[in-house]
A and B are shown apart, each in its own frame.
Chain A
Amino acid sequence: MNRAAIEELYDYDGWAWERLAESVQLLPQGTFERPAKGSGWPSLRNVLGHIAHGYHIWLSRVDAAGPPTFDSADADWAAIDDYYADVRTRFRAYLESLSDAELQADRDVPTWEGQVLRYTPAEVLSHILVHARAHHGDLYTLYHQLELDVDMPLLDYRYYVDSRR
């Protein structure tokens, strides 16, 4: 993806998170942390923490900011929301630090178990944003499994387009 596409998806992901934040704050106390029967996550907290952690994990592999320091396992919504804001700021700073040529230039990126593969920063940043999108499906499932009276927000891209007009 080029810079414009990454920036638009970055903006989309922030918009989607804001919609989720509005919804989460309407939930009855304890719902955010409550495990859903039949869910592997098992709670909304785990999915939202995982989305934010996805930013941190992959940014740490390209911007040399160090290993993860936040554990969302016992965090409340406010802490996860702050964490998300922090990693988003890091994402923006890293993207802006790169020229267009650097954004599309291969570099060594550590992956798992000491393996190093060649990726462009654009590929890593795209991966972070595409990763977040997949977990919207898990959230829809959890809203159903938790039998919530609060609707899961509609996060289709065209609603984002509408919101930016």
Chain B
Amino acid sequence: MDRATIEELFDYTGWAWEQIGAALAPRGPEIITTDGPTSGWPALWDCLRHVSIGYDFWASSMDGRPAIEFDKAPPDWSALNDYHQRARKRLHERLILLDDVALATPREVETITGPGAYTPAQLFFNALWHDRGHHGDINTLLYQHGIPDDNWPWIEFRAFINNKRGYNE
């Protein structure tokens, strides 16, 4: 993936996260921590935290510094959002530091399944695509909490494009 696509996915996932936060805010703090019936996560907190840890993990893997301390944070949106934003900022700062040659040059990194050789571009995209892959989980959890789908965040890629173009569909 090229730099422009990675930047676009950064923008898209950042915008989607904001929509998720805006949809959850009026529901009160318990919407984050209440288990969804039959959900394996089991709560939104667990899923959203997992998404954020994905950014933190790959940022740490690429810049060689420890992951951000988070486990002691209270399970609420404010703490989670702060962590999420710091992890993404750290990952994005790494992107800015790399020129296009470095971005496309494979390097050995540690993963949860052992060492592997990937370009930084592949790792950036992996972190962003991982985030998108959990949007379905979030909608499923909102369904399980009895929230009607017209109150779910509309976080399709086309909705992001609409926002950029100033469309009000």
Chain B 40-77 residues near chain A, CB threshold 8 A = 40
Q: Is chain A's binding surface mostly helix, strand, loop or mixed? A: helix
A112, A130, A157: residue with the most chain B Cβ atoms closer than 10 Å: A157
B162 at the binding interface (Cβ < 8 Å)? yes
B63–chain A nearest beta-carbon distance, Å: 18
How distant is the Cα of A135 from the Cα of B149 in the complex, in angstroms?
Answer: 15
A69–chain B nearest beta-carbon distance, Å: 23
| In contact, B140 and A157 (Cβ under 8 angstroms) | no
Interface size on A, as a range, is 35 or more
Cross-chain contact of A141 among B1, B111, B137, B156 (Cβ < 8 A):
B137
How distant is the Cα of A1 from the Cα of B162 in the complex, in angstroms?
Answer: 15
How distant is the Cα of A137 from the Cα of B39 in the complex, in angstroms?
Answer: 12
| Pairs A–B under 8 Å by Cβ, sample size 8 | A2-B2, A39-B140, A127-B156, A134-B136, A137-B138, A138-B136, A140-B137, A144-B40
Which residues of A are interface residues toward B (Cβ below 8 A)? 1-2, 4-5, 8, 36-40, 111-112, 115, 117-119, 123-124, 126-127, 130-131, 133-141, 144-145, 155-158, 161-162
Which residues of B are interface residues toward A (Cβ below 8 A)? 1-2, 4-5, 8, 12, 36-40, 111, 116, 118, 122-123, 125-126, 129-130, 132-140, 143-144, 149, 155-158, 161-162, 165, 167, 169
